[in-house]
Amino acid sequence: MKNSSALLGAALAVLLTGTLTSRVQAQDMQKKPGTFASLAVWVAPASSRPDPGAVRIPAPSADAGVSREQPARFLFTDAASQRTRIQMARHHYRIRTYQGPNGLRPKHRRRKRPFRWYENARVRSMMRFYLFKRRDLLEEGFRRSGRYLVMIRRIFKQERIPAVLAYVAMVESNFDPRAVSPVKALGLWQFTATTGRKFGLRLRHPWYDERQDPIASTYAAARFLGYLYDKYGNWELSLAAYNAGEGRINKARRRARARRRSTNYWSLRLPRQTRRYVPSFLALARIMENAAKYGLNPDHREAPMNQVTLELHLSGTLQELAGRAGIPQAHMARLNPAWHGWAVSGNPEDRIIVNLPPGASSRFMLSLWDSPPAPISWRFHTVKEGESITHLAGLYGVTPEAILKMNGMIPIGMVMVGKRLLIPIPAVAIQKVTQRNQSGMKAGRGKG
């Protein structure tokens, strides 16, 4: 019986080998422009015990950018093999398809959420505004839209949201993932911190904010829009609630009912910005859907985003991970707008999204296996009288620039007493700091 199980396991491994190797080439190396692959990777500590049932998959062929002679080191898979595991020399990887953030999600609907177009004086007025008064803003958004529309429409289709709702991102941020509003809403979809967390976006201040990750925030936006439609039953009120909040819309509807007036969007008494929000969306959607008619050249659009998305437990720096992927740091920063500053969290409970260009993920994964990144410990330090950034850098074994960037500070000599600073401590420095603290405690006891 045991021999039969072993033979069955070996046969399964052989079957997986051919299937998954072809998936690597299809998803990572030969993807068409405008598509994106989503993967998730968890990196456990080196002390993890080997998985006795681990499957070892050979590296992809030489024409995929990796030598055939490379030992089995990594695995790419899709939803059909979400729980496949592979044990490597120093890290344990569990890989599954990235399905968006783990937050509030509306119930699955078999029926569609139909969209209704409106043509009225308020919509025509906003069309004239964008075409003649803010033509520069319109053309800038049109140019950026080429990068994100394919990705947004794919996610919206998956979440059963009408494709035309992709232009909400143009009203919110003009397709700029780094946009910041006066009330500190961020990203393509302008999530506030409260709403972002409600729909599962991870905010790890000061280094990481998924509201500015295009893919993660688009999943959250689709689920937020679906939640609002399921509550209000039409897109006009749903979009008004997206802009002003559910509380204001509910209050306006209660006031209208009390006065026996209509509770549809066009009749409600709403703040000025919200009264213009839906007409602005409809105007921009109409223009974008008929770009050539309104003098917008499709050739001026940016190329669609074409990347592989990995979700990892890692610590390090943006520069280091760019080097592992073999791409410039500036390119890495553009692909990963959710990262703030230079550092990536080393908290084992954190997962970060890393976006890489097609073809770079194989090199990145091999690099993780060949030379795993040293863990970084994060500590808070309360500044005492007489301490400077240079003093703290020497105390913790890091560079002054690292502390300044980590805390969003300018290079000045002294810092305010009592200020709490976040200090990144490389693993090689942790032992020295600990020994220094212990020796100081012993010296204090000796004096006593």
Task: Give the pLDDT of residue 98.
Answer: 66
Range from 68-82, 107-121, 336-350, 396-410 carrying the lowest mean pLDDT: 68-82
* Contacts (Cβ under 8 Å, ≥6 apart) of 262: 256
- Residue 401 confidence (pLDDT) above 70: yes
DSSP codes joined into one string, 243-255:
HH-HHHHHHHHHH
- Whether the per-residue pLDDT at 317 is higher than 90: the answer is no
From-to residues of CATH 3.10.350.10 in the chain: 376-447
Residue range(s) occupied by CATH 1.10.530.10 in the chain: 121-300
- Residue whose pair of structure tokens reads 């506030």 in the numeric block: 192
Can you give the pLDDT at residue 345? Answer: 59
- pLDDT-wise least confident of 168-172, 250-254, 261-265, 374-378: 374-378
Across the strands, what pairs with 96? Answer: 40
Q: Which CATH architecture has domain 376-447?
A: Roll (3.10)
d(CA 85, CA 313): 16
* In the predicted structure, residue 377 carries a pLDDT above the cut 60: yes
CA dist list (Å): 245 to 156, 170, 204, 225, 251: 21, 19, 24, 12, 10
**DSSP assignments along 114-175, one per residue:** ------SHHHHHHHHIIIIISHHHHHHHHHHHHHHHHHHHHHHHHTT--GGGGGHHHHHHSS
Greater confidence (89 vs 299) lies with 299
pLDDT value, residue 206: 62
Catalytic residue numbers read: 172
How far apart (Å, rounded) are the C-alpha atoms in residues 74 and 57? Answer: 7
C-alpha angle with apex 229: 234 to 131, nearest 5 degrees? 65
pLDDT at site 366: 86
Q: What is residue 1's three-state secondary structure?
A: coil
Q: In the chain, what percentage of residues exceed pLDDT 70?
A: 66
Say what the pLDDT of residue 344 is.
65
pLDDT number for residue 372: 78
Running DSSP on this structure, what letter comes out for residue 92?
E
Q: What pLDDT, on a 0 to 100 scale, did the predictor assign at position 412?
A: 64
Question: For position 446, what pLDDT does the model report?
Answer: 52
The answer on pLDDT for 195 being more than 90 is: yes
Q: In sequence order, which residues have a C-beta less than 8 Å from that of residue 389 and are 6 or more positions away?
A: 400, 403, 404, 409, 411, 412, 413, 415
More confident site: 347 or 58: 347
**Amino acid, res. 193:** A
Residue type, 274: T
Local confidence band at 408 (pLDDT 50, 70, 90 cut-offs): low
CA pair distance 94, 399, nearest whole angstrom: 34
Rounded CA-CA distance 360/291 in Å is: 34
Which residues in 155-298 belong to E strands, given as ranges? 203-204, 208-209
Q: Is the entire prediction scored with pTM above 0.75?
A: no
Highest mean pLDDT out of 62-76, 111-125, 333-347: 111-125
Over residues 218-246, the pLDDT tens digits come to 999 999 999 999 999 999 999 999 999 99
- CATH for 121-300, options being 1.10.3470.10, 1.10.530.10, 3.30.950.10, 3.30.1330.10: 1.10.530.10
- Tokens 């703030």 locate to 340
Mean pLDDT score across all residues of the chain:
75
Rounded to an integer, the average pLDDT of 392-412 is: 79
Helix (H, G, I), strand (E, B) or coil at 104: coil
Q: Residue 364 has which token pair?
A: 């990145």
Instruction: Return the percentage of the chain with pLDDT > 90, whole number.
Output: 40
Alpha carbon 188 to its chain centroid, in Å, reads 11
**Cβ-contact 87, 51 below 8 angstroms:** yes
Contact 23, 39 (CB under 8 A): no
Q: In terms of DSSP bridges, do strands 308-312 and 37-38 run parallel, antiparallel, or are they unpaired?
A: parallel
Model confidence at 217, in pLDDT bands (50, 70, 90)? Answer: very high
